[in-house]
Structure 1
Amino acid sequence: MSSSFIKIDTKNAKPKSGRKLKTMLLFPPEWVPTAPYLALPSLTAVLRENGHEVIQRDINIEMYELFFSDMFLIWVNARMAQQLRELKGKEAQGELTEKEIDQKECLEEVLSFDVMELASSAEEAKRINRSEDFYDASKLEWALNVFRDVMRYISVAYYPASLVYYPMESNLGYRPGVSSEVYACLNDPQVNVYRDVCQQLVLPSIAKERPDVVGISIGTKMQLIAGLTFGKLIKEAYPDIHITVGGNVITRLQEDLAKQEPFFTEIFDSAIMYEGEHALLWLLEALVGDREWTAVPNLMYKEQGHVRINSEIYTEKTTSLPLPDFEGFPLDSYFVPTRILPYLATRGCYWGKCTFCDHGQGYFDQYRGKPAQDVVREVKALQEKFHADHFLFADESYPPALFKKVSQLLIEENVDIKWTTLIRFEETLQDPEIWDLAAKSGCKTLYYGMESANERVLELMDKHAKKSVIENNLKEAARVGIWNHVMAFYGFPGETKEEAEDTRQFLLDNKASIHSVELFYFVAYRHTPMVRNPEKFGITIHKQDEYDMPLDYYYTLNEPGGVSCLDAMQLCEEFYQNDFASWAVRINAREQIFLYISKYGTNKLPQIYATNHTPAEAKPDTVAGLITWPVAKADPEGGKDGEPGMARVVSHSAK
């Protein structure tokens, strides 16, 4: 696809009809239900600024609110009872398959449990998450276990799906990298829980509001099935509504989606790639005849039976965008006791060199940012307008110059907030005064993409970080009370087992200044420099025709002696079995730890580590953990060794 930048001439545009469209924006599951995601408020701000009526719905948090309610659990219980009756009927006829025998056993066990007791526990768990009891680690751990129990309970009703509260690892048994399976999943009422979510939460809202346009933001792979399910059911019920999809995953899959004509016929009418604020605005103008369809940048749509991708690409000017608009979001419904707002000062990554990373695929242009003065002004405005004192700076990697200037300005202007962000280890951040200012300005937790502690491997990655700098940054941050979360992975092509051991040993040697750890195995993401030039990195990429919507590929090393994909998996498993105990936390969502640091004012929090409590401590008046049946899990994506899609997790971290 050939692309070109365009500069939109709004002054000389043709006269507008003045017609405005009512738009409903949907954020589908699954995402962490502790804070809003920034996509919808950013889109809403531009549309409302231009006179369009917008209803924005965070269906993710609405789904969890629904799941953890007596109404839904009673409904699920009835669904399971009906399923069991049908299976017993087949059993009487001697017609049960092995899978159905397993399903019947799960249903019989779960239906013996008191659903009203579970529903009561779920209500108490929600109350704990939204009250000061949140800061009692034993009570919070109990509440999180209740949520996990509820998800296991609901999973049986959608057998063999596995629905998980946190981390986001729900599995419906269909591979999202295979379009035929994605489409089959959309039509499968047995496992596709999102069909019921849509029917109970989305369709009634559309019937009430009657929007002209529905926009669905699909930012992560975990949202793909839910987002497409919503689109399909809305299209079936309301064929005259224009449905558009967008988000990072849509951008990454643009070439594949263009080949999936049924998607444009039965699920959505258009797709917006890259940044969507003004592209969505101009799409609305095209829908009312005020703009030619070919003049809408970043747009993919169906025209005369063919999918067309407009060549023009528009990148947002960060300094001229309006303040994100959270009006209409359920800001007090998230599972935290205080409001947390996301804020983005930059687009893209200022470093932008890491050979394993494809985050920049969501932006056609690379790094752009706002001046520190604008950042602080906008944060103050959000604080005052939405009564929030906690902020997630959601940048790909916070630039060191901005880190220093924003810290200084927050202090000078007496902006009393608490904040967290992702950051890169930098030589320019070694001065102790920088860290003193950061802590004084309200910085509480930092997330670092270390990736490796071996300098040769870091050079191969084009990270160019020095081990001494990594140690310095961690020690200085820890000294001033900032919580350090370090992410790394095994198996970068060319890494030896000895070099992988350097990473493990570094983590162990620096326990005093590393408060939490995530260790992954390398994944060959589709749009990375490595996958585009595999021979340069000594790997062979294995593609299979059935995987026609891949986000990553299985790979093998061209030469023996390095850490293979399977080696890296084994090393990860050994790390978590042998070395991880001292880092195991009872509360592990990013926002939860952030609030604990904010509450207690220190990175010394022994009460949240699993090694510092006994199970008896984690039980208030009601008891979690009663559901212990063996729920059958759906086959993981990629199933067999050697198939693409088997390696799914890697450090999505600061560069």
Structure 2
Amino acid sequence: MKILLITPPLLQPNTPYAATPLLTAWLRSQGHDAVQADLSLELLLKLFSKEGLCELFQRLESAASGQRSAATGFLEQRAAYLETIEPVVAFLQGKSDSLNVALPEGPNLARAYDQEEQLQWDFRGLNGEDRARHLCSLYLDDIAEAFKLADPNFGFSRYAESQCAAAVGFKDVLNVVTQKSMFRGKLESLADRYIEQHAPDLVVLTVPFPGCLAGAIMTARRMKQIQPEVNVVLGGGYVNTELRELADPQVFDFVDFVCLDSGMIPLLRLVNGETPVRTFVREGGAVRFYEDDDTVVPHDSLPAPVLDGLPLNDCFGLFEVLNPVTRLWSDGRWNKLVLAQGCCWSRCAFCDTSIDYICRYDPASPKTICDWMESMMAESGSNGFHFVDEALPPDLLDGLCSEILKRGLNVEWWGNIRFEKRLGEELVRKMAHAGCIAVTGGLETCSDRTLKLMRKGITVEDASQVLRNFADAGILTHAYLMYGFPTQTRDEVFQGLETVRGLMEEGALHSVYWHRFALTAHSEMAREPDRFEIRLLPEVRTGFARNEVPFAGNFDHNLEAVGDALRAASYNFNLGLGFDLPVEEWFVH
């Protein structure tokens, strides 16, 4: 069977997403003819090109007066943008060592120049190349805002994200999919090329985030128009969390199968013509789910991910925010590796601990991981790795570092951990020697009472020491935090921000981001709301997406105002500013 695995738009363009390289390798190991394509990167390259901008200018010039007026500054610099777009993209791709063109100034770029001049910034000591990458990234952001004027659904690394994230019924997604747009037109031309080039029997679309859903359905729709007999499979992180209660048969006008959880066995059953497992299908006009038979593939037995078919040399990174940790997500060519199925802790009350990708922990061995790393380095020519998905346990890290050092691998890597006290000075120094450059992890509410309530398994004191251990070893740190957690008080929010301020001023914590708490359907908190003093509110259930659950709780502060204050403080802290202000000041302004 010929299988085409696709990453649909839109995702970040600096490196391939992890799913198709892993599944392509697995299917080939089982004797199937599998190929892969990154339609997200290829679509962005079509849009951010001289041809793409010419079409954008035409659309804006013929747009309604309001849109055309908003685009005046962009339209007036038409010649400059057409002259510079391809040199800028080539520079960000690493195909040009320098940039010898004057960039037209849109709002983001003009603001950066003003900050540099008025605040006498030197972009925090950036070298010439990094300064140029930063300015080029803001230049592309300006163009992305012009695309948004022509198509409000557009975002640089996401499309129709808010509509799909809020979609209750499939009709909400369908409204986006059927709209005529430049995005859809260029995506359909890519779909035409791949369906004609490969003539696949099966197309597999991974949807990791809501911002990929519309692009995935557009791709499926077009491929079935061109080749009606092709079968289409939908899977990925969004599907695994949002579509577990799928009952709307209209979805199957565009796809034939919707697979949950680890994709190896469900795909293998489909390509072998066997009874499906963990898969939704439409039979007799209704949706049927074929249950799990507990068959799994041990993570340690998987082959190394493969990258052939993906245009690695065309990837381009973005350096929009002047923070060294934040930059890692959007800049640099990282080989993405999943070191373990599931989470080593899987007890946090707010997390989706009832879902397979969290609750079933199955790590690969250090030897296997290093074999994967060597294989990917040989294929990609890159020694950088991003270890993705759930938390990396200290035991696995210890063994992995020993194996890296034993083999003498020259690598750089980063990933998500838990700030638990087992990450002592000795292990952290070992991680640094083995190539670790950064870690991310959850400090959540940064308050011992609520950390205990959510069963996070860490304390503020222990986590702070772990952060110091990493900083002392030269490893960058980033913390995820939340506000609006049930029973959290205003004083606890102040306490959490003060702890963060102190850690960042001290240099133990280099980057933070605050999220507003969301109650998810697959969490312990949704199953036991009384324990967290919340009341579940009525839901609109349409048989399509379900993840975030509405709830009511009692708070002694305004969550919107607090969120604004925390984001303002964090923005400044990330730039090394505002440490001298008492935390209460952020909530006044």
TM-score, normalised on structure 1? 0.76
In structure 2, the residue matched to 1:535 is: 530
Give unmatched runs, 5+ long, in structure 2. Answer: 100-126, 318-330, 579-589
Residue 260 of structure 2 corresponds to residue 273 of structure 1 = yes
Give unmatched runs, 5+ long, in structure 1. Answer: 1-20, 88-100, 585-608, 612-655
Residue 14 of structure 2 corresponds to residue 39 of structure 1 = no
Kindly report which structure 2 residues correspond to 1:23-34, keeping only aligned pairs within 5 A, or say none: 23-34=3-14
Distance 1:40 1:320, change over 3 A: same
Q: Quick one: which of 69, 86, 91 aligns to 1:105?
A: 69
Instruction: Determine helix, strand or coil for the equivalent of 2:17.
Output: coil
Kindly report which structure 2 residues correspond to 1:623-642, keeping only aligned pairs within 5 A, or say none: none
In structure 2, the residue matched to 1:297 is: 277
Whether the 8 Å CA contact 2:341–2:361 is kept in 1: the answer is yes
Please state how far the C-alpha of 1:480 moved relative to its aligned partner: 1.1
Q: Quick one: which of 533, 540, 543 aligns to 1:545?
A: 540
Please state how far the C-alpha of 1:482 moved relative to its aligned partner: 0.4
Distance 1:210 1:502, change over 3 A: same
Q: Quick one: which of 362, 373, 380 aligns to 1:368?
A: 362
In structure 1, the residue matched to 2:122 is: none
Residue 174 of structure 2 corresponds to residue 211 of structure 1 = no
Q: Quick one: which of 38, 45, 61 aligns to 2:41?
A: 61
Please state how far the C-alpha of 1:213 moved relative to its aligned partner: 1.3
Distance in 2, matches of 1:428 and 1:262, equals 50
Larger deviation: 169-178 or 51-60? 169-178
Q: Percent of counterpart pairs with the same letter?
A: 21
Instruction: Determine helix, strand or coil for the equivalent of 1:332.
Output: helix
Distance in 2, matches of 1:508 and 1:426, equals 20
Kindly report which structure 2 residues correspond to 1:206-605, keeping only aligned pairs within 5 A, or say none: 206-257=195-246, 259-264=247-252, 266-286=253-273, 291=274, 295-313=275-293, 314-336=295-317, 339-358=333-352, 361=355, 363=357, 366-430=360-424, 432-511=425-504, 512-545=507-540, 549-557=545-553, 560-562=554-556, 567-578=558-569, 580-584=571-575
Distance in 1, matches of 2:366 and 2:197, equals 43
Kindly report which structure 2 residues correspond to 1:140-159, keeping only aligned pairs within 5 A, or say none: 140-158=133-151
TM-score, normalised on structure 2? 0.85
Whether the 8 Å CA contact 1:148–1:164 is kept in 2: the answer is no
Distance in 1, matches of 2:15 and 2:280, equals 30
What code does the residue aligned with 1:263 have?
V
Give the number of the structure with larger relative contact order, counting CA–CA contacts within 8 Å between residues 6 or more apart: 1
**Matched residue count:** 531
Instruction: Determine helix, strand or coil for the equivalent of 2:265.
Output: helix
Distance in 1, matches of 2:282 and 2:161, equals 32
Please state how far the C-alpha of 1:104 moved relative to its aligned partner: 4.9
Distance in 2, matches of 1:121 and 1:487, equals 37
Please state how far the C-alpha of 1:338 moved relative to its aligned partner: 6.0
Distance in 2, matches of 1:219 and 1:229, equals 16
Larger deviation: 133-142 or 349-358? 133-142
Distance in 2, matches of 1:133 and 1:516, equals 29
What code does the residue aligned with 1:42 have?
L
Kindly report which structure 2 residues correspond to 1:174-193, keeping only aligned pairs within 5 A, or say none: 175-190=166-181
Distance 1:338 1:556, change over 3 A: closer
In structure 1, the residue matched to 2:85 is: 122
Instruction: Determine helix, strand or coil for the equivalent of 1:428.
Output: coil
Whether the 8 Å CA contact 2:343–2:359 is kept in 1: the answer is no
Distance 1:415 1:533, change over 3 A: same
Please state how far the C-alpha of 1:420 moved relative to its aligned partner: 0.3
Please state how far the C-alpha of 1:105 moved relative to its aligned partner: 3.3
Distance in 2, matches of 1:150 and 1:505, equals 38
Distance in 2, matches of 1:523 and 1:326, equals 35
Distance in 2, matches of 1:468 and 1:575, equals 21
Please state how far the C-alpha of 1:155 moved relative to its aligned partner: 1.7
Distance in 2, matches of 1:458 and 1:176, equals 31
Whether the 8 Å CA contact 2:420–2:457 is kept in 1: the answer is no
The CA RMSD measured in Å over matched residues stands at 2.4
Whether the 8 Å CA contact 2:307–2:379 is kept in 1: the answer is no
Q: Deviations over 1:86-140 (max 9, x none)?
A: x5xxxxxxxxxxxxx5335336x26733334223332233233223569633211
Distance 1:262 1:170, change over 3 A: closer
Distance 1:197 1:555, change over 3 A: farther
Distance in 2, matches of 1:150 and 1:553, equals 36
Distance in 2, matches of 1:416 and 1:56, equals 28
Please state how far the C-alpha of 1:34 moved relative to its aligned partner: 1.4
Distance 1:357 1:174, change over 3 A: closer
Q: Quick one: which of 161, 166, 188 aligns to 1:199?
A: 188
Kindly report which structure 2 residues correspond to 1:610-625, keeping only aligned pairs within 5 A, or say none: none
Please state how far the C-alpha of 1:387 moved relative to its aligned partner: 2.1
Whether the 8 Å CA contact 2:340–2:362 is kept in 1: the answer is yes
Q: Quick one: which of 151, 155, 158 aligns to 1:164?
A: 155
Whether the 8 Å CA contact 2:257–2:281 is kept in 1: the answer is yes
